Chain A
């Protein structure tokens, strides 16, 4: 089993390395990291910093997908969280004070958590399919974000808040540290407690899990809540990056990137077994790809095309059909694998 896991991560890691090599060939100093003002600078650091919001969203998404769910609303939550925090700071008497910023963060995270809980409620209590339940918030969410910003793109100046997205600590970007910290936390949460096993159990066989006494409802509810919370955090980082609340474009398509990262990382959309490290690799691939496109000098607008090629390549390489062809070319069988299920 462990062999298969290793095998499943082989192609994504290979793709990441290939990307990095290609970049280094194109620009030999690509992997170079320099120290400036006590901060680390360089393309790898950029990748790590740019990856932070996506990593946060993808972490929640991994857990949601493992329970057979999907969360389409993360982009909308990102927008709402950014809009809320910046609007709050903008309207507060003292935008630069730490307490204002902390309060803004608390409000944004609180609301994000509530939105996640709302999704979880629709899925686990009302029993609506996740894709549809979260489509509701995905549709309405941007409207709500615009309601908060009143359709304006609010620009804010607040040094403490800016630190979250652009600051450095111990030489590393704060955003990276936050995302890394959350990654470790989730890894500990899932593998040091029984959460991981119970999440997988619910994802593999919900009915059996219920009879075994697993609180499936609570588990599903928890992962959606976490997804909301992490998306809120991602929204804060993105908002702090640009220091402007753009309800229309903040976190646009981040749900798709996150789902992509999860799938590239080898977690199946059918639920069940999940791989956090796979998701990490997926996120790095997507972020590196985006950076590569810019470095090479292609319009960033064309990035989707390259994402499409990566998705197609990785999913095809992971597809059972291709693997079978590789594994047993000689076998001639009329039966197709999906029909052998019995």
Chain B
């Protein structure tokens, strides 16, 4: 590993940055240098301090120690406005634009050309159109921003950043909700800006993307700087091990423990049978059987319909065609309650919005599903609640092991475990997990994978969705491949099945 040095002066130089939150040292003596005309990746596991560092640079957080030099001049930002004035623009993961305004208004907001003190709308639209054109985007500036996809909104946000002729562009996980085509478009824009001399700070969980686009990278771990590396000369395995900072034995262990070739003892009927199940504008009619004791993986890109399948099976969305049968008896799944009462549990991909009830305690969150099923009149007896809670806090290794802690104070991984506990407490026969391991640290991830394998071993039917094909392959007995909102293939997993084959299926649409 070598750290690349350019003769040029860095446009941003952060040295010895420390930020403390009550009880937590979020950043401890971190350095970051950005040079003009480079794409610089900021890497680290969740909780490494990436977002905190970004927010320090954008003026959202004040720093407790250290120095921020922009163009050689020292700055202490006390708000996003000041950072922008210094030439630093940011595009956040959840696009921070106003959907109620037009594309042109969003691009120019705060920088509209004036005539006689009043906003000159003609010139504003013209300027916006010019900025879109220079980025090679074909979007009607007068259209409402809300009418466009997240990907386009992100590109609009970048256009906005370029209005102020930003010297530094920060992209915070811009690709997490884009499909491959959209990522390619984004990268094209990024390269164009880089060639114009803009310094781009790129944050992403996707290592392949980092290798594709970045020139150098800075790795953080637990709020500390691990190092600065040139991408081209850094080995992936090395990078990953610096990021997680521990051996990967946990995951290797798991590899052994799951024998994915095991033949499921299939009874005469599957636990759940979906025939022609579909929903307009969401997913085309598909057939899917799930047997007790097996893990069915759903593979596909984001937006391929994998989440939509899960939502239909869980009654979270209502199907407008097809039928579902459970243990060979008709079982319409009109709403989550209907599904739950049939023994189906569903953990949504959007943990924060659709899972965590932050202001309730761990205890209340764990029994929520069970209690909801009983209705409000038949309250779970206190002793039974304690038993259930103690059991899952121990079994899932929930930290802190305090049932009275508010769930919002737990880390992402532990929140996920509490949600799993909520579902396991309902003693489901079919567990549907949509990206249960997203955005949580490697340790918790391994524990959850292990749990899934064990549950299936004990006879539970599991539908497992993950953006990581590796993970799907490792856990699943069968894999349904999704593409363009339709199920295109179904394969039995085995030693001969690898990522390449599944990627091939996704790419070809199952034609070969």
A339 close to B (CB within 8 Å): yes
A342 touches B55 (CB 8 A): yes
Q: Which residues of B contact A204 (CB under 8 A)?
A: 357-360
Residue pair B368, A201 in contact (C-beta under 8 Å): yes
| A214:B62 contact, CB within 8 angstroms | no
* Residues on B with beta carbons closer than 8 Å to the beta carbon of A340: 21, 61
Mostly, the B contact residues are loop
With both chains docked as a complex, state the minimum distance between the C-beta of B472 and any C-beta of chain A, in angstroms: 22
Which interface class (under 10, 10 to 19, 20 to 34, 35 or more) fits A? Answer: 20 to 34
Residues on A with C-beta less than 8 A from B346 are: 211
Interface contact A211-B379, CB-CB below 8 Å? no
Q: Which residue of B has the minimal Cβ distance to A333?
A: B62
Determine which of B59, B376, B406 lies in contact with A198 in the assembled complex, contact meaning CB atoms within 8 Å: B376
Bound complex: CA A123 to CA B422 (Å): 28
**B371 interfacial by beta-carbon distance below 8 Å:** yes
B364 adjacent to A213 (CB under 8 Å):
no
Partner of B360, one of A195, A197, A213, A219: A197
A194 to B376: give the CA distance in the assembly, Å: 5
| Chain B residues whose CB sits within 8 angstroms of the CB of A205 once the complex forms | 353-354, 356-358
B60 contacts the other chain (CB 8 A): yes
For the complex formed, measure the closest distance between the CB of A160 and the CB atoms of chain B, giving whole angstroms. Answer: 34
Asked if B202 is at the interface (CB within 8 A of a chain A CB), the reply is: no
Q: For residue B371, which residues in chain A have a CB less than 8 angstroms away from its CB?
A: 194, 197-198
Say yes or no: A207 contacts B354, CB within 8 Å: yes
Q: Contact between A214 and B368 (Cβ–Cβ < 8 Å)?
A: yes
Number of interface residues, chain B, beta carbon within 8 A: 46
- CB-CB under 8 A from A309, the residues of chain B are none
B355 near A211 with CB under 8 A, answer: yes
In A206-232, the 8 Å CB interface with B consists of 207-215, 219
Q: For the complex, is B361 an interface residue (Cβ under 8 Å from A)?
A: yes
Q: Which residues of A contact B177 (CB under 8 A)?
A: none
Q: Report if A334 contacts B (CB, 8 A).
A: yes
Cα of A204 to Cα of B364 in the assembled complex, Å: 12
How far is B372's CA from A194's CA once the two chains are assembled, in angstroms? 9
Question: Provided the pairs A205-B357, A211-B316, A211-B355 are in contact, do residues A193 and B336 lie with their beta carbons within 8 angstroms?
Answer: no
Q: Is A200 an interface residue (CB 8 A)?
A: yes
Known: A198-B376, A213-B340, A342-B55. A273 touches B354 (CB 8 A): no
Binding site for B on A (CB under 8 A): 1, 192-195, 197-198, 200-201, 204-205, 207-215, 219, 272-273, 333-335, 339-340, 342
Chosen A-B contacts, 14 in total, with CB atoms closer than 8 Å, are A1-B361, A193-B379, A195-B376, A197-B360, A198-B372, A200-B359, A204-B359, A205-B354, A212-B368, A213-B373, A215-B337, A219-B376, A334-B62, A342-B55
Sample of 13 further A-B pairs with CB below 8 A, known A215-B372, A219-B376: A193-B379, A194-B376, A195-B376, A201-B364, A204-B359, A205-B357, A208-B354, A209-B372, A213-B337, A213-B373, A214-B368, A214-B372, A334-B59
